[in-house]
Amino acid sequence: MIQPAPTPCDADIVASLEAMALEAGRAIMAIFNCEFAVQTKADASPVTEADARAEAIILKSLRTLYPHIPCVAEEEASAGICPPDLGQAFFLVDPLDGTREFVNRNPDFTVNIALIRNGIPVLGVVYAPARDVLYSATPDGAFRIDTVKHEPRERRRIVVRTPATILTVVASRSHRTEQTNSYIQTCGAVELLSVGSSLKFCLLAEGAADIYPRFGPTMEWDTAAGDAILRAAGGTTCRVDGTPLTYGKRGQAGDCDFANPFFIAETKAR
C-alpha cells in the first residue's frame, strides 16, 4: 500500500525557500554582471532574462517539493497562467522585485517567495543578492542572514523597534506618488529613506525604520514575502482603514486579481 507523503513542517519549508532564493540570486547576478536586454511588458514595466531564469528556478523547486500547493508567480501571471483554485495555502513568487533597480544597476532588487495561509503571509524569504543579505520569516520569528557568494553565513534574529520620536519613513525609490508624499507630511518631522523593492519591509523588520506608507499600485507578489518578514519581526501591514492586508484577492470590483489596495506597514502601534 502506497503511503501518502508526509506533510512538511514549516521549518523545513523555510529552509527550502532560503535555498531556492539563494540559487535564484546566483542566476540573477550572473546576468547582472553582464550586458543584458530589457523588454517591456503589457503594463509598461520592464522585464529581463534574469526575471525569467529566476522564476523558472523557483517554480521548478516549489512544484517538485510541494506539488499540492499552488503557485502564483509574477511572470506566469503576466502571461495569463494562474491556478484556478488557490485553496487555503499557496505560494506567491516575485523572482526579481525591483527590476527597474536591476536595470539601472542599483543593488536594491530582491528575490521574494512567500507562503500564504488563509490570506495571511506566514512564511517567506527576501534575498538581496547584490547586497549579500537574506531575510527569512520562520515559525520562530524573523532572521537576517549575511551571505558570501550566495551561501548563508551569520544568522541573527531581528525585531522591530519602538517608534522613534522622529520617525524614519521608507518610501519607494521609483514609484512614489503625491498621495504618499501627502501622507508623509502628516507624520511631522521625519527622516526619509528612499529604497527600492521589498527591502522597505525588511528595514522596518530589522529596526532601521518605523513606517512604510504605500499609496500607489502594488501586486501581492511584490509585498507578500516582505510582509511576512515584518509580521514575524513584530510589525503590521494594514489597509488605510486599519484592517490587515490580506492575500489571494480575486474578482475584485474595479481592480485586477492579486492587486493590493493602498497600505501602511509599521513597526508597532504609535
Give pLDDT tens digits for 47-103: 899 999 999 999 999 999 999 999 999 999 999 999 999 999 999 999 999 998 999
* Percentage, residues of the chain above pLDDT 70: 96
Q: What is the pLDDT of residue 171?
A: 87
Return the closest-CA partner of residue 59 out of 92, 14, 87, 26.
92
1 pLDDT exceeds 50? no
Q: What is the pLDDT of residue 211?
A: 96
Binding residue numbers for Mg(2+): 74, 94, 96-97, 222
For the stretch 176-235, pLDDT in tens is 788 988 999 998 889 999 898 899 999 999 999 999 999 999 999 999 999 999 999 999
Written as nine digits, the cell of 253 is: 470590483
**Sequence letter at residue 236:** T
Structural domains in the chain, sorted by start: 10-158 (3.30.540.10), 167-266 (3.40.190.80)
* Percentage, residues of the chain above pLDDT 90: 80
Lowest mean pLDDT among 128-142, 181-195, 248-262: 181-195
Return the closest-CA partner of residue 233 out of 214, 208, 215, 213.
208
Binding residue numbers for substrate: 74, 96-99, 222
174 pLDDT exceeds 70? no
Quote the crossing angle between the two packed helices 49-65 and 10-32, to the nearest 10°: 160
Q: What is the CA angle 143-147-152, rounded to 5?
A: 70
Q: What is the pLDDT of residue 189?
A: 86
Q: What is the pLDDT of residue 35?
A: 84
Q: Could you report how far apart the first and last alpha carbons of the chain are, in Å?
A: 57
Binding residue numbers: 74, 94, 96-99, 222
**How far apart (Å, rounded) are the C-alpha atoms in residues 188 and 28?**
39
Alpha helices in 87-171 (DSSP H): 99-103
Q: What is the CA angle 62-67-73, rounded to 5?
A: 45
The helix (run of H) or strand (run of E) holding residue 148 is strand 141-148
Instruction: Please give the distance of CA 139 from its chain centroid, rounded to a whole number.
Output: 17
Q: What is the pLDDT of residue 64?
A: 98
For the stretch 216-225, pLDDT in tens is 999 999 999 9
